[in-house]
Amino acid sequence: MARVSTSLGAIGFVERGQGADAPILFLHGVGSDKSVWNAQIDHFGRSRRAVAFDFPGYAESDPVADGCTRDEIAEMFVAAMDALAIDRAHVCGLSLGGVMAIAIYHAAPARCASLVIANSFAAHPQGQAIYDRSVELSQTSGMRAIAEQRAPILLANSTPAEVRDDVIETMASIDPAAYRLAARAVWLAGQRDRAAAISVPTLILVGSEDPVTPPALSRELAELVPGARYVELAGASHLSNLDQSEQFNRAVERFLSEAEQVAG
């Protein structure tokens, strides 16, 4: 178990690799933990330092107070970067992780070499309703029931059964209070102004079959972020990094190479 300390509590992480290029930092969604990025950690860890964090209260991360805000959590992740001696990183987040990537950029723009925002948005038009439903289900149905209901929506039909089972087991193990905190952070986000202020290279990725954060929301985000690149991953649903991991990795690899050539 690997953890780093911050003033609000410890953050769990996994890392692999090293190299002269800027590290890449991965942030998971509301129903996952850092293990959802295993394929990306393996891939990018061959050429650079690759790190994935747990959201507060998830897996190896300490829980935080119910009133902890999105911006306070962003500061926790920046503090975790400090503890790992990561001065500047490419920040890649999916869904909740994408929302947090925007918040991290807002908190500490100089720490972000670029942003990769996957299956996410600046503001979700059904955010309040999704949040209310998430809270109710976490209190009445339990996390395993939520996981079994959500997995078919989060993944494409072609996703292997063992991957689907892993997604269910991971979500079933999430503490309900931490899930509600994460749900508030993602579904109640309103960051259009922050997105418009981003001035680092930005890649917007989305699964073509994503019903949770449909392509229209990613296209809106790409239009808000100056100079953003938009890529749709064919056949992928919400967890596009699992559904189409090779497509996902290729798109991110190409983007990082070009962003670093421009910066260098």
Q: Which domains does the chain have, with CATH numbers?
A: 3-263 (3.40.50.1820)
The pLDDT, as a whole number, for residue 15 is 97
The pLDDT, as a whole number, for residue 264 is 60
Structural contact between residues 181 and 64, judged by C-beta atoms closer than 8 angstroms: yes
What is the full per-residue pLDDT of the chain (264 aa) written as tens digits?
Answer: 699 999 889 999 999 999 989 999 999 999 999 999 999 999 999 999 999 999 999 999 999 999 899 999 999 999 999 999 999 999 999 999 999 999 999 999 999 999 999 999 999 999 999 999 999 999 999 999 999 999 999 999 999 999 999 999 999 999 999 999 999 999 999 999 999 999 999 999 999 999 999 999 999 999 999 999 999 999 999 999 999 999 999 999 999 999 988 776
The pLDDT, as a whole number, for residue 229 is 97
3-state secondary structure the chain: CCEECCCCCCEEEEEECCCCCCCEEEECCCCCCHHHHHHHHHHHCCCCCEEEECCCCCCCCCCCCCCCCHHHHHHHHHHHHHHCCCCCEEEEEECHHHHHHHHHHHHCHHHEEEEEEECCCCECCCHHHHHHHHHHHHHHCCHHHHHHHHHHHHCCCCCCHHHHHHHHHHHHCCCHHHHHHHHHHHHCCECHHHHHCCCCCEEEEEECCCCCCCHHHHHHHHHHCCCCEEEEECCCCCCHHHHCHHHHHHHHHHHHHHHHHHHC
Q: Which residue has the tokens 């309040």?
A: 128
- pTM equals 0.97
Strand order in the sheet with 229-233: 3-4, 11-16, 50-53, 24-27, 89-94, 112-118, 202-207, 229-233
